[in-house]
Amino acid sequence: MTDTRDLQANNGRNVQQPAQQPAAAQRAPKDDRAMVPRVDVFEDESGITLLADLPGVPREQLELKVEGDTLLIEGAVAAFAPEGLEALYAEVRLPRYRRAFTLSRELDAGAIQAQLRDGVLNLRIPKQAHAQPRRIEVQLG
């Protein structure tokens, strides 16, 4: 995993801290490297919305996994070349995206919803019921 960040609800703010890459990860073989997609994270009372830029990744080549408290986003870029032509130069040198996040215990990893549209992955990660604010009705008595 090339990058790990904490997604934790902390008094209404997300705590995001970059993880240090071990030396072995920095010297990974060329075919194991991947681009790190840019991500925006928004929090509201009921959960977190994560928007990841994954241009060129079709839905069939996108893989989302939750293992323990880690959310892993991986996607392969679909190379497009007209039939009979081969690219002499390409801006995309690494044909994959990969990014990992550590999920807070306040988030419900089992209820994540994902949508991919126009190269942007939209993940909705709701908070656990106990972590969401609730209003208590006062009865007249």
Sequence letter at residue 63: E
> What pTM does this model have?
0.68
User: Per residue in 56-105, pLDDT tens?
Assistant: 999 999 999 999 999 999 999 887 778 888 777 777 667 899 999 999 99
Helix (H) or strand (E) holding 72: strand 70-76
Each domain of the chain, given as residue ranges in start order, spans 4-131
Strands 9-10 and 4-7: unpaired
Q: Structurally, what CATH architecture does the domain formed by 4-131 represent?
A: Sandwich (2.60)
* Beta-carbon-side half-sphere exposure of residue 37 (alpha carbons within 13 Å): 29
Q: pLDDT by residue (tens digit) across 93-138?
A: 678 999 999 999 999 999 999 999 999 999 999 998 877 777 888 8
